[in-house]
């Protein structure tokens, strides 16, 4: 289980997150909602270790990660699909996925596991192309496959549908659902589309001004809550 406790983080002088606590249980799809600029991506970066926590703690399966480098966190089983995808543009598609294997806990893993690419049949046909030459939607699929290559137990997805055509959004929804159905990987999802998160999420957190303003299950995510915290 991934647990964030009373986390405070920010850039330079400014504090973005204050006192954020959340939990992602095994196999669960947890969604992080909130208007622009409330600190959703900052929270993802803090969980991954790209941003140092000023206070509070991030732990995974009881293991304290707050002071650990991103690489150690990845190796303990956290996969990351960042906002903007962050594909290695000069590496081929194949090499991009192989880099994803670095965090695999099975040290003998030398080839890409079938389950990482099974959901993206288009990727193997483009193995030799450079990552930077792919379209946005293809890069998003590549970022998924790269994160799944290490067989993570928790997957952090930061706006996976941003700027992507509807048919690929549907594909990504199917992928998230099938990961959920497998039950091996929990997901922490940041997404703007309410319709999308409602179709996949189990549990929801709403951030406001860098703190958790509301949390609850799918049935309690009512129109009142949406109106209060999410409509602009």
Partner 1 sequence: MEVFTLQLFNGLSVSSILLLIALGLAITFGLMKVINMAHGELIMIGAYSTYLTQNIFKDVLPPSLFDWYFVLAIPVSFLIAFVFGLILEMSLIRFLYGRPLDSLLATWGVGLVLQQLARSIFGAPNVAVTSPSWLNGGVEVLGAVLPYKRLFIIGLVALCLLAMYFYIYRSLEGRRMRAVMQNRDMAACLGVSTRRVDAMTFAIGSGIAGIAGCALTLLGPIGPSLGTYYIVDAFMVVVLGGVGKLVGTVLGAMGIGIFNTMFEYWTNASLGKVLVFLCIVAFLQWKPMGFVAMRSRSLDS
Residues of this chain that interact with partner 1 (CB under 8 A) are 48-50, 69-71, 73-75, 80, 82, 86-91, 95, 98-100, 102-104, 130-134, 146-147, 150
Sign for the pseudo-dihedral over CA of 83, 62, 176, 190: negative
Give 80 or 196: the residue with its C-beta nearer to partner 1.
Answer: 80
Q: Which is nearer to partner 1, 149 or 221 (CB)?
A: 149
Q: Is the CB of 37 or the CB of 89 nearer to partner 1?
A: 89
Q: Exposed (0-12), middle (13-18) or buried (19+): which is 203, by Cβ within 10 Å?
A: middle
Q: Residue 64 or residue 69: which is nearer to partner 1 going by CB?
A: 69
In whole angstroms, how close is the CB of 90 to partner 1 at the nearest point? 6
Minimum CB–partner distance for residue 163 and partner 1 (Å): 13
Quote the least distance from Cβ 175 to partner 1, whole Å.
Answer: 19
Cα–Cα distance between 194 and 226 in angstroms, integer?
9
CA dihedral 48, 22, 35, 66 (to 10 degrees): -30
**Closest CB 190 distance from partner 1, rounded Å:** 15
205 close to 13: Cβ distance less than 8 angstroms: no
What lies within 8 Å, CB to CB, of 54 at 6+ separation is 8, 9, 10, 15
């Amino acid at each position: 289980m991934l647990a964030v406790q009373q986390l405070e983080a920010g850039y330079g002088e400014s504090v973005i997150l204050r006192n954020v606590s959340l939990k992602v249980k095994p196999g669960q799809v947890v969604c992080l909602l909130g208007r622009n600029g409330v600190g959703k991506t900052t929270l993802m970066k803090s969980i991954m270790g790209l941003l140092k926590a000023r206070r509070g703690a991030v732990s995974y399966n009881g293991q304290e990660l707050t002071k650990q480098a991103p690489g150690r966190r990845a190796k303990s089983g956290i996969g990351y699909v960042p906002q903007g995808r962050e594909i290695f543009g000069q590496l081929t598609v194949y090499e991009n996925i192989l880099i994803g294997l670095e965090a695999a806990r099975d040290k003998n893993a030398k080839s890409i596991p079938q389950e990482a690419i099974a959901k993206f049949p288009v990727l193997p046909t483009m193995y030799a192309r450079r990552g930077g030459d792919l379209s946005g939607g293809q890069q998003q699929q590549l970022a998924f496959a790269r994160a799944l290559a290490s067989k993570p137990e928790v997957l952090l997805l930061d706006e996976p549908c941003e700027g992507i055509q509807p048919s690929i959004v549907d594909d990504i929804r199917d992928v998230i659902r099938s990961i959920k159905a497998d039950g091996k990987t929990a997901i922490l999802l940041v997404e703007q589309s309410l319709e999308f998160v409602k179709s996949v999420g189990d549990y929801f957190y709403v951030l406001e001004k860098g703190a958790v303003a509301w949390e609850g299950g799918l049935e309690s995510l009512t129109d009142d809550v949406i109106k209060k915290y999410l409509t602009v």
